[in-house]
Amino acid sequence: MKSLCNVPPVLRMVWDSGRGVVLAGLVLRVIIALIPLGLLAVTRLIINAVVAHEQHQPLIHGFWWLVVLEFGLAAVAGLLGRGTDYCDTLLADRFTLHISIRIMEHASRLDLASYEDPIFYDKLERARVQATDRLSMIQAMGRVVQQAITTFSLAAGVFFYSPLLLGVLVLCVVPAFLGESHFAFLGYSLAHRQTPVKRQLDYLRVLGASKESAKELKLFGLAPFLSSEFTRLSQGIYHENVALALRRLRAGALLSLLSTLGYYGTYAWVVYETVIGRLSVGDLTFLAGAIAGASTNIQMLFSSFTSIADQALFLTDLVDFFAVEPTVRSKPNAQLAPKPVHTGFEFRNVSFKYPGTSRLVLDHLNFSLRPGWRIALIGENGQGKTTIVKLLTRLYDPTEGRILLDGVDLREYDLEDLSRQIAVIFQDFMRYDLTAAENIAVGEILNKDNRPRIESAARKSLAHNVVARLPAGYEQVLGRRFEGGVDLSGGEWQKMALARAYLRDAQVLVLDEPTASLDARSEHEVFERFAELTEGKMALLISHRFSTVRMADRILVLENGRIAEEGSHDDLMASAGRYSEMFELQAASYR
Ligand SMILES: Nc1ncnc2c1ncn2[C@@H]1O[C@H](COP(=O)(O)OP(=O)(O)OP(=O)(O)O)[C@@H](O)[C@H]1O
Ligand SMILES: [Mg+2]
């Protein structure tokens, strides 16, 4: 049972999420666990006394107190049981909170590449789902402790009368346990194997009912296609599950028959011993109760154990997930980024392949970005423009070659400090379902309550006029996920995203397609300000619009992973190469 190796780390997580509650729960469980033995011992005394009384002997001294004691024990067991329920619920909530936060923290440190790896992504998804609703796991852990103690105490009682009796009982229950564990394992492997299909199913489910897909779904009439795919995939899963459940049913029935046989066999032996007078009626009651109690407790113990093992198997993903370490990270004692930057960035013979692919997206690329430069990067779709931004921001490290900042490899700098110097708005920037103010504040979250700064950033990016039209202004929740949310147009979202870049007081500004959705007038205004705002800083602009591109001081034309041409608009037009060709092509469509 390799899966059980995951129990200790998980126990540790449980312990970390609430020591006081864990201890309180344990103490209660130990007390409850010993009560059944106490009850049986008292019952034995009562019955022996009653039998003696029937045979015309006087009632033993304090007889009625025994009856009161029995009631007291039962009452205490009931009350403490509520207490453990309370502790379990508390602990489960704390565990969920503790784990969810740890998952978020860990996930944020991981490489971007990890997220693009479907196997890893499965793991993350499973870990995320499993973090919630762990009440049953916590309860199972508590039950194991309690049932183990009860079983041992009752078994000790049985052992006191006859060691052999105990041996027979144990032998009959063990096969049931092994069977249970075996099937728990099969169940997990099956669930594990089904994960990719389940991911496809989830995707179809989301696709079939999401805001993003609704438009195309209706107009292209995709619903029947989606539901037939869904049916096809889910039927495979259903058949596999049924087959396993059937096997489990057959084996489980046989094994439970065996343990019942063991229990009644020993019970018959005890009855026989009583009939021939070797045991008293009190002993009979005690033993019958202890055997019944021990065997049900052993069975329950095994099934709690299996359910932990079951959980532990699922928890493998959680443990595995925490074991994944990022490769893009700061070195120990990494140096801080230069402030201000002197000589700027330099790509030196940089080559890059995405992990798991073979195509060289960048091939021995060389270029510089110096303070005060405004560079425009152009190139056809898929030439690697966005990839260059990902390398510059260390979302990935180059496969070969080096990226230098003031002559020092980027990998030598502290990752967080480096990020602080760069403001990037990606082509596929996020549209947060948060308030307008928060949508801008994400650019520099420290400023989330600094309204004047947020407004000033919004003015620079023309987002202020967008916000002014919203019913609740900066407090307006954007997007349609939450009630009362207002959606924006593509260009309006882009202005909000641009404001994020301006909010960040960074030395480098990188805008990937910043004006793609802007109307002509907005684009013109944005760029008039852009020139002022980036005075003395480094700016990298990526655009397919030559109206934007020609405002840059230098233009780089990216082709086949290298810089094919470099120069100002006028230089490049004069040299009549790729740039002028592309420019003429776009210009021609306007004439
Ligand atoms: N995460 C990824 N994993 C694997 N390959 C990728 C990934 N992202 C991009 N690529 C590949 O890398 C190449 C360059 O992509 P990139 O996004 O840098 O292009 P681009 O120049 O920004 O294009 P566009 O003008 O369309 O924005 C593409 O051919 C693409 O297939
Ligand atoms: Mg791109």
Residues with Cβ within 8 Å of 110's Cβ and at least 6 positions away in sequence, in order, are 324, 326
Which ligand 1 atom is nearest residue 558's CA? 21
3-class DSSP state of 556 = strand
Which ligand 1 atom is nearest residue 389's CA? 18
Q: What is residue 211's DSSP assignment?
A: H
Ligand nearest to the CA of 381: 1
- Calculate mean pLDDT across residues 499-512: 90
pLDDT tens for each residue of 532-556: 778 888 999 998 888 888 888 899 9
Cα Rg, the chain, nearest whole Å:
35
Q: How high is the pLDDT of residue 471?
A: 93
Report the alpha-carbon distance of residue 286 to residue 36 in Å, rounded. Answer: 11
Instruction: Tell the burial category of 54 from Cβ atoms under 10 Å away from its Cβ (0-12, 13-18, 19+).
Output: exposed
Does the CB atom of residue 354 touch ligand 1 within 6 A? yes
- Calculate mean pLDDT across residues 364-384: 92
pLDDT at 132 over 80: no
Which ligand 1 atom is nearest residue 113's CA? 1
Q: How high is the pLDDT of residue 451?
A: 94
Q: Which amino acid is at 354?
A: Y
Which ligand 1 atom is nearest residue 384's CA? 18
For residues 515-529, one letter each, b for 16 or more C-beta atoms within 10 angstroms of the residue's C-beta and e for the rest, the string is bbbbeeebbeebbee
Does the CB atom of residue 116 touch ligand 1 within 6 A? yes
Domain ranges in the chain are 8-323, 430-504
Q: Which amino acid is at 72?
A: G
CA of residue 421 to ligand 2 center, whole Å: 22
- Calculate mean pLDDT across residues 307-333: 79
- Which class in CATH covers the domain with range 8-323? mainly alpha
Report the alpha-carbon distance of residue 468 to residue 480 in Å, rounded. Answer: 19
∠ CA(184), CA(186), CA(191), 5° rounding?
95
Neighbour count for residue 339 (Cβ, 10 Å): 9
Confidence class for position 469, pLDDT limits 50, 70, 90: very high
Which ligand 1 atom is nearest residue 379's CA? 21
pLDDT at 7 over 90: no
Closest CA to 130 of 316, 383, 365: 316
Residues with Cβ within 8 Å of 526's Cβ and at least 6 positions away in sequence, in order, are 461, 462, 495, 498, 514, 515, 518
Does the CB atom of residue 361 touch ligand 1 within 6 A? yes
Ligand nearest to the CA of 353: 1
Sign, CA torsion 386/392/397/399: positive
CA of residue 135 to ligand 2 center, whole Å: 45
Ligand nearest to the CA of 383: 1
Closest CA to 432 of 442, 446, 424: 442
pLDDT at 5 over 60: yes
Confidence class for position 309, pLDDT limits 50, 70, 90: low
pLDDT at 77 over 60: yes
538 contacts 372 by C-beta, under 8 angstroms: yes
CA of residue 451 to ligand 1 center, whole Å: 37
Averaged confidence pLDDT in the chain? 88
Closest CA to 493 of 478, 507, 508, 475: 478
pLDDT tens for each residue of 392-416: 999 999 999 999 999 999 999 999 8
Does the CB atom of residue 114 touch ligand 1 within 6 A? no
Instruction: Tell the burial category of 239 from Cβ atoms under 10 Å away from its Cβ (0-12, 13-18, 19+).
Output: exposed
